[in-house]
Each structure stands twice: as structure tokens, then as C-alpha cells.
Amino acid sequence: MPTLTRLPAEFIGHRIVVKPFFDDGVSLALFTDTGGSMLIKPNVLHKATKIISKSTEESFLTSDEDREELQQAFFPAFNAEAWIPGIDGNPGLWFIVYDDTHGLLKEVDGMIGQQWFADRVWTIDYLKEEFHLGCTRDDLSNGQSCPLDFKTDEEGKRLVSFPRIQAKVDGETIDFLFDTGATVVLSDKVYNLIGDGGPQTRGTSFITASVFERWKCNHPDWLTCDDADELLNESMIQVSEVEIAGYKVGPVWFTRRADTNFHDYMSSFMDKKIEGAIGGSLFQYFSIVVDYSNAVAYFCR
């Protein structure tokens, strides 16, 4: 029988921040990112129970030419009243200590990523702004299914847990990373232009520069904004409609990223080449069950 455990979470600009606390009442604010890793900022290390140094050989943070020693920190199990699960049967969580210089973690203590999401079933209800471990039978029966794919070895064993998912834009099926952590920090100019009252740091979706330019050329009616993203001074485009799991929704904002970001770097962790990532700007229209164990997502409106 499916079970459901509500987690202590806040939805901020279609991004999800979980806020567990320890038995002593001290809390952490952790940004959840299906396309990210396990990161913690140095200023909260006093809450850790163990800190070690470890090579970044298996880290997603550095290139092969730039390996170095990074610290890892262990945080114990959380209080049952504001609990989130651990990893690999451990009630606590290991993080890489990472001094965020890009602003993604500006307002939080850290990030929990693909290792935490792996092999579990989650219900992410953007409509009610609720985040659950597990799902109900109604969630499954009412949702439209969409397959997820993962990078595996020759024997079919999953190597990492970054989900690939397909969606249609302008009649074209595109491969994306399923990315709850896709984030844009709007420039003041674009924030005032959009004027929706939401936060400047918000959920977005990403698309490669080559596809972005094709959309812009083929659809001059789609609103585009230059210098929209304060993080990388990139442009954004408002796509009128995206189709996923049989649903057509919109509008959906996409933020431009260099082709190499997805064709080379992120695709190396996927089972095939992707053109971007879909995140909160699309997910806001749904309640989604993400079943990592069975490699499927269920979308419900």
C-alpha cells in the first residue's frame, strides 16, 4: 500500500527548500535539486558532527584537470517533527563543503541533490505547495505517466540518478534533465518587466543557445529578454506552450545556456545527449510523482 510522509518544505518561486531541524532545535534550510549534488556552506559547519577531507575524484564540482582536496561534513539524523530521510540507509547526511560563489545557495544553508532523491518515490505538489516522500494510489491513477531514463553500465546498473525526460516544444520532442533546482536570478530590469510579484531568485527551465536562437527566429511573437539572468548575463524566452505527459501548458520561461553546458558537461551524466533542463517554470502547473525505482513520473493537474 503506498504511503505518504509530508516533509518540512517551503516553495519559494517554484523552488523547494526543505527545513529540517535537529533535536536541539537548530535547523537547516536545504535547497532541493534533482540535477545537483550534496553541498553545504562553510558557515554552518558548526552543526556537523564529523568533518573529513576527501579527494574530489568522484565530485561533479571540478574538472579532471582541477582535482583537489575538499572537505566533507556529516550531519546527524533530524528530529521526527521536522524530518527528512538520509541516504543509503544512514539516518544522517553527508555533504561536500562548498563556498557558493554563484548565488544559487545565497539564501539557504546548502543543497540536497540526486544522491538523496535516488531510488525513492516522491510527490512534489507545486499546486498545493507540498512535498512528500512516497505517493498515494490516487496520485498514480489520476496522473499521466512519462518515462524517465538514467545512465547505466553495461549490466544495466544505474551509475547516477540524474533523470532524463522528454517534452515537446513547437512539435519537436526534446530531451531534458528533470531539474527541480533549475534557477535564475532575474536582473532588476527583467524582474520589473515580468512584474508578477514573485521573488527575483526563482525556478526556471534551461535551453541550449542553438535551440534558443532557433525558437527566437521561428517565433518572433515569443517574448525574449536580454541580460535577464544576473548569474551569467544570459537571455530568456517565454515559450507559449510546452507538451509533457500529454498535457499542454504555458507560458513557460526558458533561460539560455551555452551548448557545451548540456551537450558536453551535463550529457556526460545522462544516458544520451540533452538540450537543456525543465524545472519550476514548467513544473508549477502540476503535481508530480517521481518514481525513481520504476523510472517513471506521473503528472497531474
> Using one digit for the tens of pLDDT, what is the confidence trace for 127-170?
999 999 999 988 888 999 999 999 999 999 999 999 999 999 99
Grid coordinates standing for 39? 553541498
Nearest to 84 by CA among 165, 167, 170, 5: 5
pLDDT of residue 54: 60
Residue 91, amino acid = P
> Which tens digits make up the pLDDT trace of 56-92?
444 444 444 444 567 889 888 889 999 999 987 788 8
Q: Residue 168: which residues within 8 A CB-CB, separation 6 or more?
A: 174, 242, 243, 244
Burial of 50 per CB tally in 10 Å (0-12, 13-18, 19+): exposed
pLDDT of residue 64: 45
pLDDT of residue 2: 58
Lookup result for grid cell 551569467? 232
pLDDT of residue 84: 95
pLDDT of residue 275: 99
Which parts of the chain register pLDDT below 50?
1, 56-67
The region, left, alpha or beta by phi > 0 then psi within -120 to 50, assigned to residue 79 is: beta
Could you tell me the domains of the chain? 5-124 (2.40.70), 142-300 (2.40.70.10)
pTM of the model: 0.92
